[in-house]
Structure 1
Amino acid sequence: MTEKEKRKWNARVYPSQAKRGIYVDLEGFKDKVPSLIGILVENDFEQIVLDPDLEQAAIAKNLQVKSFACAMQYIAELAKTEKRKVFAYSQHELNLALEYTSSGPTIKRKYKDGHKIAKRWFNSEHYDEHIDNWGLKGFMKFLRQPLPERFGHQKATYRLGYVRDMLAKRGTYNDLTPTAQNHWTDLLDYNEWDCLALQTLMTRVGNN
């Protein structure tokens, strides 16, 4: 198979792949190990906090705290043993797995870039229609399932940094201000929305 054929193959998704996929979304800062990962497998969603400085915030929401390497190993083993594809909305998650973990090569073999898949589908099936942008939010708006307004326009990294900085000052989650606690809740909800939205989009593309 030529490189062009591989790219074309990787830009496709089949209904069974979409249904059984492992959907992942990372939150974190540029050029650093991620701080949070959301993992959606069929109807089961979990979040793992990857930054030990956020341990108190994790405990408050009954979340596990693990290293990024452990989280990626878990995903790689699940994908391999259960023959599932790993979906994320760009090459970002794959690049971080390759840079920071030994599970990167396994993830790469199972990886599906939702952005490339969705863009190919749109250009093939909806080329004469309008879409605001090629981001996940743009596609979900096109599908009439837009990002809830309550998330506002603040970036996830802003919320993450706010919570992290205040935990460093105050020590425990209960001592955070209501604003900081709300930022943490919104960040977790936003991360979950990203995973669910990608699953919805890939299911739509696969069934088209």
Structure 2
Amino acid sequence: EDLGKENIEAVKKGCLNLGRHIENVKQFGVPAVVAINHFTTDTDAEIQAMKDFVKAQGAEAILCKHWAQGSAGIEDLAKKVVEIAESGASQFSPLYPDEMPLFEKVNTIVKRIYRGDEAIADKSIRDQLHAWEQAGYGNLPVCMAKTQYSFSTDPNLRGAPTGHTVPVREVRLSAGAGFVVIICGEIMTMPGLPKAPSSEKIFLNEQGQIEGLF
């Protein structure tokens, strides 16, 4: 209910979380560009505060008005992304080697991306990961499933927290997709596809137009 009021200090406080994301992108050797999703109640001062913060992080923030102007409102962002992509600045490198043990991969993400102290898991979970390694799945990457509201597993711990632990509740092998899913904290994963997924009804008509999306 307070979003309509100018509050530059709140924007600056929220930028701590944005700064963490910029740092994390750069850890992969990839330059970052920030898209500001413009709301009609945003003030020039609030937007400038965010641009100044991002610039201090060595990146650029671009105002995007696609909600009001469609594709024309995001043209500047598209040009910037092309510029960065064609600059050769990207030197992508994963956070961990394929041969690293699965639980060490989890801990690498916890420490380097979430800035936590460690991941914690029962012996049964560690034994399951070891069994998958013995079965030939140890080279797979891990996919972390946790709350989107925080770098921790506590959705109320906002901003850029450090020093927390990340409890691993469950692990799942997605052998076909090629990764191991790590379920952390209290989180509900998306349900699977029904017996007849919507994709079966999507097709191109004789005019080359897509039908069946809705």
**Normalised-by-shorter TM-score class:** under 0.3
The structure that is strand-richer by fraction is: 2
TM-score, normalised with respect to structure 1: 0.25
Which structure is richer in relative contact order (CA contacts within 8 A, separation 6 or more)?
1
